[in-house]
Chain A
Amino acid sequence: MKTQEAEHPAPQRGDSLGGRLRWRLRRWGLLPQPQAILLPLENAVESALRPVEPPAHFRARLRNDLAFAVRRRVTGLVVEYPKPLRESIILGLAAGALAMIIAVLVLIFRSRLVGAGR
């Protein structure tokens, strides 16, 4: 997978003057060919990006979640990625705060009504 892209690609319109100059110098043999410089880096990148596998428990859980979503989809329900916990907490807090405000307003209104009745 490595530099079979052996030859240095020709400079393009957006390239800097320095880039074009380096390209010329390499063509004239005054600078070393880039693949020689970059080969060790390619090897290092390859070992740094060694393939990894998902944890088995995650793989199984996601398979189950998707199967559940598929079943819901078949029955005509909307498939949706489960909302993150944080979002649920914020919504819960907002609903709680709203309920508290309404309760306080009701209490104030009631106490005023009682006061006016006396």
Chain B
Amino acid sequence: MTDQEEQSFVESAKNDPGIFGELYERYVDRIYNYIYHRVGNVHDAEDLTSRTFFRALSHLQSYEDKGVPFSAWLYRIAHNLVANWHRDRKRRPVVALDDVVLRGLWEEHPEVVTQSQDNVRYLREAILRLDADRQGLLVLKFSEGLSNAEIGNIMGRSEGAIKSLYHRTLLALRSDLLKKGLDIG
């Protein structure tokens, strides 16, 4: 579907909310994937995905194509909800129980669990420790396969700024992993 086709589809959905179901089918996997990698567990990923689509439905009339595609608008909603989720968790930090017990509470995807080599696990934890923008950037780039320009649309930054942020993010991630004694490279 081209951007123009998508735009006319969204306009139709404004007049006929029944069409929203089609938009949902088109984007639910991508939005869920983005949120899952941002929060790291299935329960919160499901909750935030639901909230994203309910919010999109209730604000659909206010969506206007100002050069930002509908998908970017949806990602922005998800991005903001995830940022609030992280903020809430900082305000009410999880009690530092035994790490293993805590990890046991996190329901993970089977496809993620199978890649449970220690390095990958440490890396995923290090990604979750990054600040919200850096974390979002990595997920959008690697898991969603978006270009710098598309990521810029979602994050409200220029392509150059995304490129620069990406580089700093990798350096920060590398430095964090080195501090934990993990050298990838």
Contact = CB atoms under 8 A, between A and B. Distances in A.
B167 A41 contact: no
A3 B77 CA distance: 28
A33 B108 CA distance: 36
Nearest to B182: A44
Contacts of B62: none
Interface in B113-172: 115, 119-120, 123-124, 127, 138-139, 141-145, 148, 160, 163-164, 166-167, 170-171
Contacts, number: 126
Interface stretch (B25-33, B66-74, B93-101): B25-33
Contacts of A52: 32-33, 36-37, 109, 111-112
Interface of A: 1, 5, 8-9, 12, 34, 37-42, 44-55, 58-59, 62-63, 65-67, 69-70, 73-74, 79-81
Interface of B: 17-18, 20-21, 24-25, 28-29, 32-33, 36-37, 42, 45-46, 49-51, 53-55, 57-58, 109, 111-112, 115, 119-120, 123-124, 127, 138-139, 141-145, 148, 160, 163-164, 166-167, 170-171, 173-174, 177, 184-185
15 contacts: A5-B163, A5-B166, A34-B171, A40-B185, A45-B170, A45-B173, A48-B115, A49-B124, A49-B127, A50-B111, A50-B143, A54-B45, A58-B49, A70-B21, A79-B57
